[in-house]
Amino acid sequence: MTVSQSACEDCAFHNVNSLKKLGIDTDNIDYVVALAGNPNTGKSTVFNALTGLRQHTGNWPGKTVVRAEGAYQYDEKRYKLIDLPGTYSLLSTSQDEEVARNFILFGKPDVTVIVADATRLERNLNLVLQILEITNKAVLCLNLMDEAKRNNIKIDQRALAKKLGVPVVETVARSQKGIPELLSTIADIATGKIVSKPRKVKNLNRQIEKSVNQLAREIEKKFPGIPNSRWVAFRLLEGDKRITEAVVNNELMELV
Amino acid sequence: MEKKDKNSIVDLASELRWKIGDNFHDKLTESLYTDASEIASQAIEMPGNERNYSLDRKIDRIVTSKRFGFPIMLGILALILWLTISGANVPSGLLFTLLIEITYPALKSLSESIGLIWWLDGLLIDGIYMAVAWVVSVMLPPMAIFFPLFTLLEDFGYLPRVAFNLDSLFRRAGAHGKQALTMSMGWGCNAAGVVATRIIDSPRERLIAIITNNFSLCNGRWPTQILIATIFIGSLVPSSFSGTVTSLSVIAIALLGVGFMFLTSWLLSRTVLKGEVSTFTLELPPYRPPRFWQTIYTSLIDRTLIVLWRAVLFAAPAGAVIWLVSNIHLGEITLANQLIEWINPFGLFLGLNGVILLAYIIAIPANEIIIPTILMLTVANLKLAGIGAGEGVMFELDSTLDTANILKAGGWTVLTGINLMLFSLLHNPCSTTIYTIYKETKSAKWTTVASILPVIMGFVVCFLVTQFWHLFA
């Protein structure tokens, strides 16, 4: 799955042949894929590489404030791809973060692709960890691997995947490198071939840990089988109005 | 019963919130960072950190420095405008020849040969076709140069540095530092700038950014500024300097807009939108060499053609309206003349004229068709002999010199030109932007404020400039 295995991509039987870029034709969709990530990670470039659309990509935070949609077909299945606003976190009240946060939670995408900048991975992990609290069906796309190589940054992809508990794919989206691997990983998660058990935030302060667990237990009692009780607890402790509302009017039932 | 259960979760949450105290957010963020660095220490091997981004840092130290930051920003803006102004002339002329000197007469003779009724011929060819042809030849070349240049700068990663430089100014005006980004977006298109304000957390600061975005000279208004500056200001100096002087005067207007943005933000944050200034972190992304051809391609498709298409959609009906008001007679004179006569005193009082005001009313849907509308109405109003085929026809102009002659015949002076530039900066946003403001704020009150405030400012500024002009000239 590393970038260097490009022989695989040249192979005529490689899966990339079953990719059909559908542009904005999002009818009869089998799976919904959300694309999340920090600004300036090449998220929109990944989006364009998969859908064949040419959404403008800009090198500044806040470029994609509205969510863009596109589609592609892979192995006979049709995927809708939603490019969420690029954000550093999902914890604040700004509208772009709200859009991203609520889509991953309430939109229940079949797969969430988290695009991260390999040259600034540590800072990007902040968002990755938050997303992994919300959804089990995620893949980390380590983009800009060429820049990382140029800067002599070495990433132990397997250790990272093990630590995070989700698949990690290295890409250079600009030049389509790693896109075939990304496509097949997305497909495997969507079809349930890969089942992940993502890392949940550790190192919580003791009192917070206690409160979160207590609240999460209550939530699980009322909504048995809910996959992200801890995240809901985080948000309730933060005083998130939208989540509070969802608890009161039973909307969380739909997340189960 | 069930409802009560659900509320018990909410109750428990607020109870726990009291226990934790109000630093939950910070504590959680802290844990996330601890976690991230733990993972990073096991999976990432960074080389001795310092060297890697040393070039980026060196560039940043210069472009965000107190001494060079602003001059560099102005220099880049000036360069882009100069390239746009001097580069657009030739293709503009070619398009003019093609669409108006060649195609227009061909269409006229075609309509004559198939015996089209006179009013249909007038409405379609003299009204709609001419308006569209005008808009294309006036707007396409500058946009096709300005947008790709701006986009290259964007892809390179310069815009966050602009935000960084302007941050303290915005903060002093009681606004959010990220407003610098939405402001630069507005230089492309105000509607896009208004949408981009979503990156601002606080509703108060976001509202300020929305209301003041209109002070960013949008792409629909750049051509107006450039043309009027060329005619009235560039022509005041020897021709070898005129390009430079024209660019400088357009920059002056753009900067004046920024000044008004600060002033209005300051006024709003001191009066109706009082509140704390929020802090934020702005990442300065690494500089990346833009992929030249792809950037050119996407900016041509995404921006230039889309904006042009919108202009054409608005120009077509406006062309029809222009032809109609110039050809419907009320007794002796046309409707257009009647209207212009009515509002002329008010226009002159402001240092503008009736034609300009009527043009702004007709062109409310789109700023970009102001100049064609003004020219056409001027001709219709003056009944200039020998220009165009009749009333309401957008005539043939070979050069800016012809445009200048018509405007001067219409009683225009340098003062009128300056005031038009000022009024083009300070007036209501176009209909798309007004609609976008409403969608974003969901408030009729703030939409009205955002629409009316700039017009009032425009009237006041033009009036004052006129008074001073008469005092000293």
Chain B residues in contact with A160 (beta carbon < 8 A): 39, 43-44
User: How close is the nearest chain A Cα to the Cα of B179, in Å?
Assistant: 11
pLDDT band of A134, cuts 50, 70, 90: very high
Q: What is the pLDDT of residue B394?
A: 45
pLDDT (average), residues B186-207: 82
Nearest residue, CB atoms, A122 vs list B36, B195, B196: B36
pLDDT in tens, A202-214: 888 888 899 999 9
Question: Are A85 and B198 a contacting pair at CB < 8 A?
Answer: yes
Chain B residues in contact with A92 (beta carbon < 8 A): 201
Question: Are B302 and A247 a contacting pair at CB < 8 A?
Answer: no
Mutate which of A60, A97, A234, A242 to test chain B, going by most B C-beta atoms within 10 A? A60
Q: What is the pLDDT of residue B365?
A: 66
- Residues of chain B with pLDDT > 90, as a percent, come to 17
A125 touches B at CB < 8 Å:
yes
Residue A72 carries which DSSP code?
Answer: E
pLDDT in tens, B265-323: 999 999 888 877 766 666 677 787 777 887 787 777 766 777 678 778 877 888 888 88
Task: Tell which A residues from 130 to 159 touch B, by Cβ distance under 8 Å.
Answer: 130, 147, 151-157, 159
Question: Are B288 and A59 a contacting pair at CB < 8 A?
Answer: yes
Question: Are A153 and B283 a contacting pair at CB < 8 A?
Answer: no
Question: Are A247 and B9 a contacting pair at CB < 8 A?
Answer: yes
A224 touches B at CB < 8 Å:
no
pLDDT band of A5, cuts 50, 70, 90: very low
Complex ipTM:
0.85
Question: Are B40 and A205 a contacting pair at CB < 8 A?
Answer: no
Chain A and chain B share a number of CB contacts under 8 A equal to 189
pLDDT (average), residues A34-39: 90
pLDDT band of B462, cuts 50, 70, 90: very high
pLDDT in tens, B96-143: 888 888 898 899 899 889 988 888 888 888 888 888 887 787 777 877
Chain B residues in contact with A219 (beta carbon < 8 A): 9
pLDDT in tens, B84-95: 777 877 887 788
Q: What is the pLDDT of residue A12?
A: 43
Chain B residues in contact with A201 (beta carbon < 8 A): 28, 31-32, 35
User: How close is the nearest chain B Cα to the Cα of A144, in Å?
Assistant: 11
Q: How far is CA B156 from CA A58, B146, B163, B227, B284, in A?
A: 8, 16, 14, 30, 11
User: Which residue in A has a C-alpha nearest to residue B281's C-alpha?
Assistant: A88
Task: Tell which B residues from 15 to 54 touch A, by Cβ distance under 8 Å.
Answer: 16-17, 19-20, 24-25, 27-40, 42-47, 52
Question: Are B286 and A237 a contacting pair at CB < 8 A?
Answer: no
User: How close is the nearest chain B Cα to the Cα of A109, in Å?
Assistant: 23
pLDDT in tens, B382-407: 655 444 444 444 444 555 666 777 77
Nearest residue, CB atoms, B42 vs list A39, A163, A222: A163
Q: What is the pLDDT of residue B296?
A: 80
pLDDT in tens, B411-435: 888 899 999 999 999 988 887 788 8
A208 touches B at CB < 8 Å:
yes
pLDDT in tens, B177-191: 888 888 887 887 788
pLDDT in tens, B359-375: 888 877 667 677 777 87
A6 touches B at CB < 8 Å:
no
- Residues of chain B with pLDDT > 70, as a percent, come to 89
User: How close is the nearest chain B Cα to the Cα of A93, in Å?
Assistant: 6
Average pLDDT, chain B: 82
User: How close is the nearest chain A Cα to the Cα of B156, in Å?
Assistant: 6
β-bridge partners, A42: none
Q: What is the pLDDT of residue A64?
A: 52
pLDDT (average), residues B377-385: 64
A255 touches B at CB < 8 Å:
no
Chain A residues in contact with B166 (beta carbon < 8 A): none
pLDDT band of A2, cuts 50, 70, 90: very low
User: Which residue in B has a C-alpha nearest to residue A129's C-alpha?
Assistant: B32
B1 touches A at CB < 8 Å:
no
User: How close is the nearest chain A Cα to the Cα of B152, in Å?
Assistant: 9
Residue with tokens 């692709």: A113
Question: Are A65 and B35 a contacting pair at CB < 8 A?
Answer: no
Q: Considering the entire predicted model, what is its pTM?
A: 0.68
Nearest residue, CB atoms, B35 vs list A92, A121, A201: A201
pLDDT band of B381, cuts 50, 70, 90: low
Chain B residues in contact with A121 (beta carbon < 8 A): 40, 44
Q: What is the pLDDT of residue B260?
A: 95
pLDDT reading at A135 higher than 90: yes
Three-state SS for chain B is CHHHHHHHHHHHHHHHHHHHCCCHHHHHHHHHHHHHHHHHHHHEECCCHHHCCHHHHHHHHHHCCCCCHHHHHHHHHHHHHHHHHHHHHHHHHHHHHHHHHHHHHHHHHHHHHCCCCHHHHHHHHHHHHHHHHHHHHHHHHHHHHHHHHHHHHHHHCCHHHHHHHHHHHHHHCCCCCCHHHHHHHHHHCHHHHHHHHHHCCCHHHHHHHHHHHHHCCCCCCHHHHHHHHHHHHHHHCCHHHHHHHHHHHHHHHHHHHHHHHHHHHHHHHHCCCCCCCCCCCCCCCCCCCCCHHHHHHHHHHHHHHHHHHHHHHHHHHHHHHHHHHHHCEECCEEHHHHHHHHHHHHHHHCCCCHHHHHHHHHCCCCHHHHHHHHHHHHHHHHCCCCCCCCCCCCCCCCCHHHHHHHHHHCCCCHHHHHHHHHHHHCCCCCHHHHHHHHHHHCCHHHHHHHHHHHHHHHHHHHHHHHHHHHHHC
Mutate which of B153, B178, B199 to test chain A, going by most A C-beta atoms within 10 A? B199
β-bridge partners, A111: A33
Chain B residues in contact with A235 (beta carbon < 8 A): none
Q: What is the pLDDT of residue A34?
A: 94
Q: What is the pLDDT of residue B400?
A: 64
User: How close is the nearest chain B Cα to the Cα of A92, in Å?
Assistant: 8
